[in-house]
Amino acid sequence: MMGLWLLLLLHLHLGNAPRTEDVCVSLPAPSSISISSFNMEHTLSFLPGPGTPPETHFTVQIIHHRKNSWRPVTGCLELRAGQTCNLTRVFKDLYDHYRARVQAYTPTQTSNWTLSAWFLPLSDTVLGPPDVTVSGCGNCLTVQLRVPTKELPQNLQLKDLYKRIIFRVQRTRDGAQFTLTLDYEEENVITYLQSGVEYCVSVSATGSVSSNPVYSKPYCAFTSPPSTKSSCTLYVVLGLAGVFCMLGFLIIGLLIYGGQMSLKLPIHLTRRLSYILIQGQKRGSTRPELSGPFSASQLHETGSASCLLTAHSPVEAVNSSEVEEEDCGLVPN
Ligand SMILES: *[C@@H]1O[C@H](CO)[C@@H](O)[C@H](O)[C@H]1NC(C)=O
Ligand SMILES: *[C@@H]1O[C@H](CO)[C@@H](O)[C@H](O)[C@H]1NC(C)=O
């Protein structure tokens, strides 16, 4: 009796699912099914089989390793050709293996299912490079890394997946480069560099399973001498103090020297001026105006210009009366 009821129920159930009975399997199956994953966001993409009619829809189902039954993916039941299916929410367990399949359908036809490869979220996701800040610290570079905050299932954060960081360091001047692999830390110091030289750093992250490295763009900085803010201001203060000291000495020196100078001024000044004037004449340049008043006074003191002709006979080219008069002042009487 129970067996009969079950048969009846089964019949009714099948009757309500027209696709399995009435729809014929004649559409081309989708192709190129792949699941790509970046920073734990999983996306399924596929291509319609050749000759697929334009009004065709596609549906996606998933299965995971531990439960052996296919189930439909909400939001991916009526896809169009070219659309993708977001599997982030359905691949909940990072440590499980998943598989997806896609079927094309129209109201009257379906295709066979096409299967994806097995997918393990933890190892198949590609970790993007973290945000990078580089600054100099003498003969080293400080590299700050920051992984975007992102909640994952199972109480994990995205940054919990970052295990190792590869640093690619390149000297800007000649392009010489090396790579360095360190455990993931937010603050890293790359040592043994030349100081005062520019380097560029690209980083790449790997999780527990290494994948193809995706490098960040290069971030460049000079390895400047170590200068924290406090020592910097100290240098400035010391420097200013030094400058003021020197200025003080200079002024005192000038005052003392000036005091001595004022006694010797006439003889020093005239000797100097005459030298300038003779040099000026020899080079054929114009004579400085400054000489005027001094020469006039000298003329009065020496009285005559004729003494010059004997005193400085070799300088025959000098025919200016003013120069002669000045030189006269130097001639010992
Ligand atoms: C669907 O699969 C069956 C068996 O795997 C095959 O015989 C049939 O040709 C396939 N149909 C299409 C439309 O590819
Ligand atoms: C996929 O779904 C996740 C979780 O709902 C969401 O954070 C992410 O932005 C979605 N990705 C795309 C490409 O829509």
112 CA distance to ligand 1 middle (Å)? 6
Looking at residue 2, its pLDDT comes to: 43
Closest Cα partner for 19 from 145, 105, 91? 105
Ligand nearest to the Cα of 86, by number:
2
Looking at residue 273, its pLDDT comes to: 45
Ligand 1 pocket check for 31: Cβ under 6 Å: no
Of 157-161, 242-246, 293-297, the range with the lowest mean pLDDT is 293-297
Mean pLDDT for 138-153 is 94
Residue nearest to ligand 2 atom 9, measured at CA: 41
CB 23 within 8 A of CB 108: yes
188 CA distance to ligand 2 middle (Å)? 32
Ligand nearest to the Cα of 51, by number:
1
Residue nearest to ligand 1 atom 5, measured at CA: 112
Tokens of 165: 């960081």
Ligand 1 pocket check for 108: Cβ under 6 Å: no
Domains of the chain: 23-123 (2.60.40.10), 126-222 (2.60.40.10), 232-328 (no CATH)
Which residues surround ligand 2 with Cβ inside 6 Å?
Answer: 41, 86, 88-89
Q: What is the pTM of this model?
A: 0.61
* pLDDT over 70 (residue 3): no
Facing residues of 62 across strands? 71, 100
Closest Cα partner for 28 from 98, 92, 105, 101? 105
* Higher-scoring residue by pLDDT: 273, 123: 123
Pocket test of ligand 1: the residue of 23, 24, 25, 110 to mutate, having most ligand atoms within 8 Å of its CB, is 25
149 CA distance to ligand 1 middle (Å)? 46
Pocket test of ligand 2: the residue of 86, 149, 151 to mutate, having most ligand atoms within 8 Å of its CB, is 86
Could you read off the pLDDT of 27-77 as tens digits, one per residue?
999 999 999 999 999 999 999 999 999 999 999 999 998 888 999 999 999
Could you read off the pLDDT of 209-250 as tens digits, one per residue?
777 788 999 999 999 864 444 455 555 666 677 777 688 778
Could you read off the pLDDT of 46-59 as tens digits, one per residue?
999 999 999 999 99
Residue nearest to ligand 1 atom 10, measured at CA: 112
CB 55 within 8 A of CB 106: yes
Pocket test of ligand 2: the residue of 39, 43, 79, 88 to mutate, having most ligand atoms within 8 Å of its CB, is 88
Please report the DSSP string for 79-148 in residue order: BPTT--EE-TTT---TTS-EEEEEEEE-SSEEE--EEPPPB-HHHHSBPPPPEEEEEE-SSSEEEEEEPP
Backbone CA torsion sign across 226, 232, 238, 241: positive
What would the 3-class secondary structure string for 264-328 be? HHHHHHHHHHHHHHHHHHHCCCCCCCCHHHHHHHHHHHHCCCHHHHHHCCCCCCCCCHHHHHHHH
